[in-house]
Amino acid sequence: MLNDKVAIITGGTRGIGLETARVFLENGAKVIIFGSRQETVDKALADLKQSGAEVEGYWPNLNDFAAVEKTIYEIAQKHERIDILVNNAGISANKKIEDTDPEEFASIIDLNVKAMFNVSKAVVPYMKKQGDGVILNTSSMVSIYGQPSGVGYPASKFAVNGLTKSLARELAPAHIRVNAVAPGITNTDMVAKLPKEMIDPLIQTIPLGRIGEPRDIANAFLFLASDLASYVTGEILSVDGAARA
């Protein structure tokens, strides 16, 4: 479904990002993963390369636009195009507001929103030059329903939805599609860090009777990245088992 497409995946070293890289590779894409540190990138590359896949990795500071722009330039020079960007890097939060330092709130917004802006801004000129492209963002079910604590995380994901819908309108004339996937509770290490008393009540709201797996979310990204979704832009695709918090 993605033969010879060049795809960049931020937060690609674990969880949903790593599984999305795997699914894209299975479908013929050339994948570049971004991670926070060289050691995590190297570990993920070793995992993905076991199948003989064509994959590479970088670890720019996503909050430093100059560093991001330089890395994107290197990728574009090497591959001559950038077809797909998956903005997946992010962090969660679960503290009550009175226990959350302003610096903690700012760090969530920086990685979940500012970094997404930075990488999107860096790839858009190349997508415009080639005449098409796809930008996909990881949102969350909490961008629709909020959550009982950890206000920075849903606040950031509401912002992701706004960025997605606005960029879709702005970039449509350039034939660049912009969509987001809003996962429900998914079996990742991020969710594993959340307290049981927060997760168990949410699981009770899932009619399908289970939490999601990373491949469930990766398959949604695959659809939106492919030509099957050629007339889909500005959408926030919920992949949550019909959960309603």
Tokens 């088992």 label which residue?
Answer: 241
Looking at residue 32, the DSSP 8-state letter turns out to be E
User: Residues 58, 126, 145, 153: which is the catalytic one?
Assistant: 153
Instruction: Return the SS3 of 31.
Output: strand
For residues 25-58, one letter each, b for 16 or more C-beta atoms within 10 angstroms of the residue's C-beta and e for the rest, the string is beeebbbbbbbbeeebbebbbeebeeeebebebb
Q: Rounded to an integer, what distance in angstroms lies between the CA atom of residue 96 and that of residue 34?
A: 31
Q: Rounded to an integer, what distance in angstroms lies between the CA atom of residue 151 and that of residue 6?
A: 35
Q: Count of CB atoms within 10 A of residue 200's CB?
A: 9
Assess whether 73 carries a catalytic annotation. Answer: no
Q: Rounded to an integer, what distance in angstroms lies between the CA atom of residue 109 and that of residue 127?
A: 26
Strand-pair category, 133-138 with 84-87: parallel
Secondary-structure breakdown of the chain: helix, strand, coil percentages, each rounded to the nearest 5: 50, 15, 35
Positions marked catalytic:
153
